[in-house]
């Protein structure tokens, strides 16, 4: 178990990373930390994809992972732009204080 590293180890590691990312999204209220946590989730998914690509001997998984990295970069750029726009109109970036739109 400890010295025999199998694909399962990588997959469980990815699952733990995914869970930590999801916990960060739910627990933290700073927008930037939430965005980093989302990046953690995407990276966990990428690790899973690459592990399975190795397991199935399918290079398509690597190309998929490249697409994911590009998408993640684009998402971060737009997200940070929205954060900057929010900051311009209210001088903070706390999710909890965003309450003009009522439920």
- Which residues in 53-82 contact other proteins (CB under 8 A)? 53-82
Distance CA 33, CA 20 (A): 12
Site string for other proteins, 13-42 (x = CB under 8 A): x-xxxxxxxxxxxxxxxxxxxxxxxxxxxx
Shortest CB 94 distance to other proteins, Å: 8
Contact 46, 69 (CB under 8 A): yes
DSSP letters for 60-77: HHHHHHHHHHHHHHHHHH
Shortest CB 89 distance to other proteins, Å: 5
Shortest CB 31 distance to other proteins, Å: 7
């Amino acid at each position: 178990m400890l010295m025999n590293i199998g694909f399962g180890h990588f997959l469980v590691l990815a699952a733990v990373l995914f869970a930590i990312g999801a916990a960060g999204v739910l627990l933290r209220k700073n927008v930037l930390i939430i965005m980093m946590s989302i990046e953690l989730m995407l990276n966990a998914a990428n690790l899973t994809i690459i592990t399975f690509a190795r397991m199935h001997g399918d290079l398509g998984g690597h190309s998929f992972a490249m697409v994911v990295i590009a998408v993640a970069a684009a998402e971060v750029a737009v997200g940070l732009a929205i954060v900057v726009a929010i900051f311009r109109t209210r001088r903070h970036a706390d999710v909890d204080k965003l309450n003009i739109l009522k439920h």
